[in-house]
Structure 1
Amino acid sequence: MTEFAAVADVAGVFEHFGARAIGTHSCYQWSLVFRAERDGAAVVLKRTADRIAEWCHRLDAQGIPVVVPVDVAEVDGKRWVVYPWIDGRRYDGSLADVTAAGDLLGRIHAVGGTELKPFTWPVYEPGEPAKDLPELREKFGEHAPEHLDAIMDRLVPLGERFERTTLPAIRDAGLPVVDATVDYKANNLVFTDEGPVLIDPDNGECLPRVLDLALAALMFHMEDIPGRPFTGEEWIAFRDAYLAHVELSEAEVAAWPDAVDYMLWEFGTWAMADSSEWHVPRQRSFLIGLAQVRADDLPV
């Protein structure tokens, strides 16, 4: 189980930026994200990637509500960023919030750009993805035995064909690419009176935009309410708000089933296998639902 990183382990980073930690550990289990105070202002100190700060400034210049860095530096060979703390509320699960989130993703994709790090496609030996199936069977057998047959009916064919059909179909389709978050989830947004603000752009890469949309469609409720993937009504609200800003090409629409399958296998099964929150009812329910999502549930 991954431990929350300690402030003491990165004391030199706080010293470099002249920031004072608020608390003793990272506020997120899976990455280095620290609340802090700097020059009397509340800030967030975290690891980031190359070109993310510049991308945030480009989005901001286009009127996109995104957290904008106040400082960026290399410390001990690692890239760190200081963001202002954004006041607001968490996602409330309402259709209004779903719609606003879809609208924001559409606006981000409409800005376009291809300046972030290129998306890296996996390379698999024949049959390699299917080797993960026994672990997934064991995980769901332990935590959700009543759903095991339905889940494996979805995951087994996906894993067995992934490197032969799904991967080349989406990789070689020549789809439009954009700079995108590759982590567009409810818990990465803060809702203000003016609408949602993207507060975690730091996984951003340049990738086929339909993959980023598919990831949001699948994972938007990960680690947040209401403990399940989108309902049909929620997805339509999110999708239609997104499509107000982006017109998907015929090739993207045709590739949508492969995009959903790709992201479910590459990103979704990682969440299923590595989750440390199976004991949390909300997260258990989400993962059970995620494992059974099909492209037909998320029409474009």
Structure 2
Amino acid sequence: MNGIKILESFGFKTDEEPKSIYPYSPVYRVRGEKYDFIIKKTQRTIERAQRLIYFTKYLKENGIKVVTPVDTKRDNPQQIGGDIYIVYPFIVGGTYTGTNDEIYDSGRLLGEIHRLSPEVNNFDLPKYNVFDFNIKEVHDSVQNIENYAKSVNLKIDIYKLKEKLIQIVPQQEELKNSRLPYVATPHDFKANNLIFNPDPYLIDPDNATWLPKVFDLALVLLLFHNELSTAPDEIFTPEQWQIFLSGYTKSVSITELEKEYWQRALEHVFLDEVMWLMAECEEDWSNPSQLKLFECLIKLIIDSSDYHL
């Protein structure tokens, strides 16, 4: 989609094709008379985008620092071509650097979001339903991972990784039927989606989903430091993980059922989010920081005994 057309659809004039500030999806920073704005692709269809807006406005009305659509003279969001685009305010502040205060405050923010979740999916957000991984997918993904690792001379225990991931596959049906508590959540709660001014401000809620609460926590542990140059190039240390949880549990409790299923939830989210990332994003293997993160993630999934709820 032509970037000029996207900007013009929201009333912004430009003679030059805008450059996306995010490499994997169109995200444009636009200068206004007083403030800057972000125009980005969001959930498809327009009805789903509107449900996302209802959710984020609810969070904002209840004290959560989260972006919501700006008032424009044009429809916001709107469909342009086959995609849905939305205009958010550009939030000024600093990026995450991995301090204990930032980790604690990030955990507290996610806990407050989970606390505000209704008991049922009142916002009709997309429901998580990815419980269909199979052995062939694991074999194919591990083969890609092995090839990429060899190409950059990274030594990983590919046999232990493959063995572990194959063991995870049969657990899916039990997780699906486990009656774990679900929450309405942004479900992309990572450091690159937070701006600190000085408290964390959520700038990308567009993946909002109805999913098991413990899955959201697992995603944080695995990928909170992904895709951010100012973040450490490794996962939380066990001590940092407990700092995050101490902030998180200021607002919400972790149930005994969630503690019981934590290990299986962590392994499942690895299959869903990390295996795909490592197997399909070949360009990440040429990034030394990403390489170190991948190495940490493999060690974690083989032995996560130091990381508990």
When normalised by structure 2's length, the TM-score is 0.87
Q: What's the secondary structure of 1:59's corresponding residue?
A: helix
The one-letter code sitting in structure 2 at the alignment partner of 1:266 is D
Q: Does 1:173 align with 2:178?
A: yes
In structure 2, what is the equivalent of residue 229 of structure 1? 235
Q: Does 1:110 align with 2:115?
A: yes
The correspondence for 1:277, drawn from 274, 284, 288, is 284
8 Å contact from structure 1 (residues 130, 159) kept in 2: no
What is the rounded CA distance, in whole Å, between the counterparts of 1:53 and 1:97 in structure 2?
A: 27
In structure 2, what is the equivalent of residue 56 of structure 1? 56
In structure 2, what is the equivalent of residue 289 of structure 1? 296
The correspondence for 2:129, drawn from 120, 126, 136, is 120
1:109-145 Cα offsets, whole Å, 9 max, x none, are 1111322111132424554433322112222233353
1:23 Cα deviation from its structure 2 partner: 7.2
Q: Does 1:238 align with 2:247?
A: no
- Gap runs ≥5 in structure 2: 71-75
- Percent identity between the two aligned chains: 30
Which stretch shifts more, 98-107 or 272-281? 272-281
Describe the shift of the 1:238–1:222 C-alpha distance in structure 2 as closer, same or farther (beyond 3 A).
same
Aligned residues between the structures = 288
What is the rounded CA distance, in whole Å, between the counterparts of 2:82 and 2:136 in structure 1?
A: 37
In structure 2, what is the equivalent of residue 74 of structure 1? 79
In structure 1, what is the equivalent of residue 265 of structure 2? 259
Q: Does 1:85 align with 2:90?
A: yes
In structure 2, what is the equivalent of residue 3 of structure 1? none
Q: What's the secondary structure of 2:178's corresponding residue?
A: coil
When normalised by structure 1's length, the TM-score is 0.90
Describe the shift of the 1:169–1:104 C-alpha distance in structure 2 as closer, same or farther (beyond 3 A).
same
The one-letter code sitting in structure 2 at the alignment partner of 1:213 is L
In structure 1, what is the equivalent of residue 196 of structure 2? 191
What is the rounded CA distance, in whole Å, between the counterparts of 1:222 and 1:283 in structure 2?
A: 7
Describe the shift of the 1:269–1:124 C-alpha distance in structure 2 as closer, same or farther (beyond 3 A).
closer
Q: Does 1:18 align with 2:11?
A: yes
8 Å contact from structure 1 (residues 18, 38) kept in 2: no
Q: Does 1:30 align with 2:24?
A: yes
What is the rounded CA distance, in whole Å, between the counterparts of 1:240 and 1:40 in structure 2?
A: 39
8 Å contact from structure 2 (residues 148, 282) kept in 1: no
8 Å contact from structure 2 (residues 107, 247) kept in 1: yes
- Gap runs ≥5 in structure 1: 1-7
- Aligned-residue CA RMSD (Å): 1.9
In structure 1, what is the equivalent of residue 307 of structure 2? 298
8 Å contact from structure 1 (residues 27, 35) kept in 2: yes
